[in-house]
């Protein structure tokens, strides 16, 4: 038997001769309508294929030896910049006292004058001018303690700042510098007096180990006394300097980089539900107190969060491509060359208390008692979650799924159209026969 006849028996698409076909006006209308419907539905399939969605995953965070950035912007309307110190410490034993790198302070006018910014400079809490005008043989006294290793001239304290460093090295309180020749020469007391009624805004970012720790903003220079971390509170509590308090506003606080605007636009608003961590829960938080001996504490739970763009490579293929965090400037940490982003989201609870102790009877909770003692200031204690959220960009469907959808659209539309056309034709024929009778 010829090959042609064997395949002919398998033909599932039998044909009719041209003379047996009937073309109708209703069939033409149904055909045109079907064509538009097919085009519309195919366009919808294409748009669905091109749409990028974010698929969230929750895994155990297996990172080791990582660091993270903390970015903050806080205002203190009732305490001058000269009295504020930013310190960081963690459970690994690392301490950063008087953080300056990456941080700026903005002097604010007194609240009664509107609290407008006055001056912006790096966070040199005791900005002394270098003593380059002094006699080369000059060797300033350290007034008791030995000269610290950071002095410009070995064994000498030639500036007010170096005298303060010497006092801090032996855990001595310094005060306002009265009787210290270097501070009198640099008019440190006068500068402190001039800022008495001012406020301060601290802004910028700093880098910490990704372990349990805390950072705090407290008055006076800090130093360690054995296992104790203490601050020189003389100037802060001095009645002659006015009544300072830690009334503050957290304008912005985040852990890690912010999601870029172009990334937000590319994903679209409907797929951005996972980015609620960028609505940082502490933003625009305000706390008010009239008590100088008052302590504000925020307990933060940090969750690592990764964003992987469409076409992102696996971590193994990217091994060794990221630069060490210490080589990346503040504000650039977490951004990958491939468009990936490593950041963090967080939740927070807060607590406040007077260092004088007592209860919360004024707030209707007399059963709630507070211990006495501590350091006035604003403290942020952060803990790292062992879990990690991965947000991965994906197509809503594969190309194979797109082709399957197109075939389904064409086949389904033509099948329904054929049924409609057949029904219209049969109905018209029945009506015609009834009229002929």
Contact predicate 74/248, CB 8 Å: yes
Does the pLDDT at position 217 exceed 90?
A: yes
Q: How many helices (H) and strands (E) does the chain have?
A: 8, 17
Q: Tell me, what's the pLDDT at 340?
A: 82
248 in helix, strand or coil?
strand
Question: Which is more confidently placed, 175 or 427?
Answer: 427
Mean pLDDT: which of 85-89, 261-265, 397-401 is highest? Answer: 85-89
- pLDDT value at position 144? 84
Please give the average per-residue pLDDT across 70-80, as a whole number: 92
Quickly count: other Cβ atoms within 10 Å of residue 72's Cβ. Answer: 21
CA distance 50 to 42: 12
Q: Nearest-5° angle of CA 78, CA 230, CA 109?
A: 15
- pLDDT-derived band at 201 (thresholds 50, 70, 90) equals very high
Give the whole-angstrom CA distance, residue 123 versus residue 105: 5
DSSP class of 335: B
Residue-averaged pLDDT of the chain: 80
Residue 102 has pLDDT above 50, yes or no: yes
Q: Dig out the tokens for 429 from the structure.
A: 């024929």
Query: What would the mean pLDDT of 192-213 be, rounded to a whole number?
Result: 88
Give dist(CA 131, CA 181) in Å, integer. Answer: 13
More confident residue, 237 or 408: 408
Instruction: Give the single-character DSSP code of 313.
Output: P
Q: What is the DSSP string of 139-179?
A: ----SSSPPPTT-SSTT---SHHHHHHHHHHTT---TT-TT
Res. 18: pLDDT tops 60:
yes
- In this structure, the number of other CB atoms found within 10 A of the CB of residue 165 comes to 23
pLDDT score, position 317: 43
Question: Mind listing the pLDDT tens digit for each residue in 32-63?
Answer: 888 999 999 999 999 888 888 778 888 898 88
Which is higher by pLDDT, 325 or 219? 219
Question: Any idea which of 147-156, 208-217, 236-245 has the lowest mean pLDDT?
Answer: 236-245
Q: Retrieve residue 389's tokens.
A: 């959220």
Q: How far is CA 303 from CA 172, 280, 331, 382, in A?
A: 39, 13, 19, 10
Which of 114-128, 179-193, 417-431 has the weakest average pLDDT? 114-128
CA–CA distance, 345 with 347 (Å, rounded to integer): 7
Angle among Cα 430, 432, 434 to the nearest 5 degrees reads 70
Check residue 72 and give its pLDDT.
94
Instruction: Select from 31, 10, 17, 21 the least CA-distant residue to 416.
Output: 31
Residue 382 has pLDDT above 80, yes or no: yes
Judge whether residue 123 has pLDDT over 50. Answer: no
Q: Answer with the residue of higher pLDDT: 168 or 365.
A: 168
Could you read off the pLDDT of 279-330 as tens digits, one per residue? 788 999 999 998 888 899 999 999 998 888 887 776 554 444 455 556 677 7
For residues 266 and 322, which has the higher predicted lDDT (pLDDT)? 266
Q: What is the mean pLDDT of residues 374-386?
A: 92
Residue 192 has pLDDT above 60, yes or no: yes
pLDDT of residue 12: 61
Per-residue pLDDT band at 365 (split at 50, 70, 90): low
Report the predicted TM-score, pTM, of the whole model to 2 decimal places: 0.74
Task: Find out whether 93 and 83 touch, Cβ atoms under 8 Å.
Answer: no
Do 65 and 196 meet the contact criterion of CB atoms below 8 Å apart? no
Does 114 score more than 80 pLDDT?
no
Quick one: average pLDDT of 396-421?
Answer: 89
């Amino acid at each position: 038997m010829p090959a042609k006849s064997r395949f002919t028996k398998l033909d599932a698409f039998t044909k009719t001769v041209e003379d047996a076909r009937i073309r109708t006006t209703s069939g033409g209308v149904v055909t045109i309508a079907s064509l538009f419907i097919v085009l519309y539905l195919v366009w919808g399939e294409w748009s669905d294929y091109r749409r990028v969605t974010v698929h969230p995953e929750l895994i155990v965070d297996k990172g080791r030896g990582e660091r993270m950035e903390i970015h903050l912007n806080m205002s203190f309307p009732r305490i001058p910049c000269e009295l504020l110190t930013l310190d960081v410490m963690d459970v690994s034993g690392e301490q950063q006292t008087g953080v300056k790198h990456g941080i700026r302070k903005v002097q604010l006018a007194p609240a009664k004058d509107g609290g407008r910014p006055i001056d912006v400079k790096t966070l040199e809490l005791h900005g002394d001018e270098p003593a380059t005008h002094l006699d080369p043989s000059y060797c300033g006294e350290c007034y008791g303690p030995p000269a610290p290793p950071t002095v410009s001239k070995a064994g000498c304290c030639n500036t007010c700042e170096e005298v303060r460093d010497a006092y801090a090295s032996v855990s001595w309180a310094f005060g306002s510098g009265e009787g210290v020749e270097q501070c009198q020469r640099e008019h440190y007391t006068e500068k402190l007096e001039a800022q008495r009624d001012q406020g301060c805004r601290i802004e910028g970012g700093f880098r910490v180990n990704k372990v349990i720790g805390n950072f705090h903003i407290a008055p006076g220079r800090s130093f360690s006394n054995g296992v104790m971390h203490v601050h020189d509170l003389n100037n802060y509590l001095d009645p002659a300097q006015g009544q300072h308090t830690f009334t503050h506003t957290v304008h912005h606080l985040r852990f890690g980089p912010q999601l870029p605007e172009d990334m937000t636009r590319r994903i679209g608003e409907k797929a951005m539900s996972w980015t609620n961590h960028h609505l940082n829960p502490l933003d625009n938080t305000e706390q008010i107190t009239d008590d100088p001996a008052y302590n504000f504490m925020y307990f933060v739970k940090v969750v690592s969060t990764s964003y992987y763009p469409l076409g992102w490579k696996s971590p193994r293929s990217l091994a060794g491509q990221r630069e060490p965090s210490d080589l990346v400037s503040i504000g650039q940490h977490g951004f990958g060359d491939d468009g990936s982003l490593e950041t963090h989201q967080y939740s927070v609870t807060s607590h406040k208390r007077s260092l004088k102790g007592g209860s919360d009877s004024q707030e209707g909770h007399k059963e709630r008692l507070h211990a006495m003692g501590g350091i006035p200031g604003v403290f942020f204690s952060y803990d790292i979650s062992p879990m990690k959220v991965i947000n991965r960009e994906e197509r809503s469907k594969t190309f194979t799924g797109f082709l399957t959808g197109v075939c389904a659209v064409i086949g389904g539309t033509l099948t329904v159209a054929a049924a409609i056309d057949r029904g219209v034709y049969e109905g018209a024929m029945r009506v015609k026969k009834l009229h002929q009778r």
